Amino acid sequence: MTIFYLGVDIAKEKFDVCLLHDDQKWSGMFTNDKAGFQKLDTWLAKRVNGKLWACMEATGRYGENLAAHLHQAGYRVSVVNPARIKNYARSKLLRNKTDPLDAALIADFCRSQETYEWLPPTEVELTLKQLINRLNSLVTDQTREKNRLQAGELVELVRASVEAHLKFLEEQIKLVSSQIQNHIDQHPDLKTKQALLETIPGIGKKTSAILLAEMPDPKHLSSKQMAALAGLTPEQLSSGNYCRKQDKLSKVGRVSLRTALYMPALSAMRYNPITQALAERLREKGKQPMTIVAAVMRKLLVLAYGVLKSGQPFDPDFAVNVQFGS
């Protein structure tokens, strides 16, 4: 069967596409809205006379509607960790970077690399994700208002307004947090998965809820790919006689996962025997504190991947034997 490969470079307001078939190549640019999606449909209909595989980077909410639209149109869609695209570009020794060139690179990646098919979230998954996003927004607003109070003297009218807003935000945070837990409790699959995650020392209800909302199905990814998705894989830079002394996180991936794992990592370094041992080994090697915390964050994510994929609670003896995420 004839296969066409569509690379999509997505942005907030627009997206660039590159369509590949054998030695043929077409490029286009469309607005990132329903009107743009419809124009893309017409554009594809004039060129595609076979199966279409579409590929885009995981860029958060900017690409979700387009991915769902392409899936609904009957096309195979893959949403790929940007780190994989970045590494692929390096392997091709590509130096220039523009949106059309990025779209062409993604199309070529789709044609030559193995990718798993993206499926739109179920209503249950979408509800949880949106509740988590709402909670994160409320917490961000709360932090901003607290900083405003602490930054300096405010006139009484402004101070009263900020304090009233903080009170409202606190009430909303409690409400949405309760809605998140109620949603999980009402759906057996989510409740079972949350219980599994909470068997890992360092992961509580708040973190488990975020992991349930942000982690893809483990059957589609390896543990290393899951860590890369969160931007928790090390990036060591070296060239000629130059070598970075400290590993640097790629930070190309889901910020929400990294943020959610920071405080649990600090707790796990004290109470989780697996991460305690990992932290101690890294200290003996002279690693910097933040490098150690990042490694523990990565370990927690891989442990979470392990319990969800196996359907079995955390077992420190088993984790030691298989050396999850080392």
CATH number assigned to the domain comprising residue 128 = 1.20.58
For residue 195, being part of any structural domain is answered with no
Among 55, 88, 112, the domain-final residue is: 112
Residues whose CB falls within 8 Å of the CB of residue 222, separated by 6 or more in sequence, listed in order: none
Among 161, 186, 211, the domain-final residue is: 186
For residue 118, being part of any structural domain is answered with no
Amino acid found at 31 = T
For residue 191, being part of any structural domain is answered with no
For residue 194, being part of any structural domain is answered with no
Please give the DSSP secondary-structure letter assigned to residue 22.
T
pLDDT tens track for 254-284 = 788 889 999 999 999 999 999 999 999 999 9
For residue 17, being part of any structural domain is answered with yes
For 232-241, the CB contacts below 8 A with 24+ separation are: 232/257, 232/258, 232/261, 232/294, 232/297, 232/298, 232/301, 233/83, 233/298, 234/294
Q: Report how many domains make up the chain.
A: 3
User: Taking the C-alpha atoms of 80, 83, 88 and 91 in order, what is their torsion angle to the nearest 10 degrees?
Assistant: -170
Shared domain check, 314 and 250: yes
pLDDT tens track for 131-177 = 999 999 999 999 999 999 998 789 999 999 999 999 999 999 999 99
What predicted TM-score, i.e. pTM, was given to this entire model?
0.79
Amino acid found at 85 = I
Among 82, 112, 142, the domain-final residue is: 112
Dihedrals φ, ψ of 19, to 5°? -110, 125
Domain of 130? 123-186
For residue 231, being part of any structural domain is answered with yes
pLDDT tens track for 216-268 = 888 877 888 788 778 787 665 444 444 454 456 656 667 888 899 999 999 99
Both structure tokens of 101: 């060139």
Cα Rg for the chain, rounded, in angstroms?
A: 22
pLDDT higher for 142 or 317?
Answer: 142
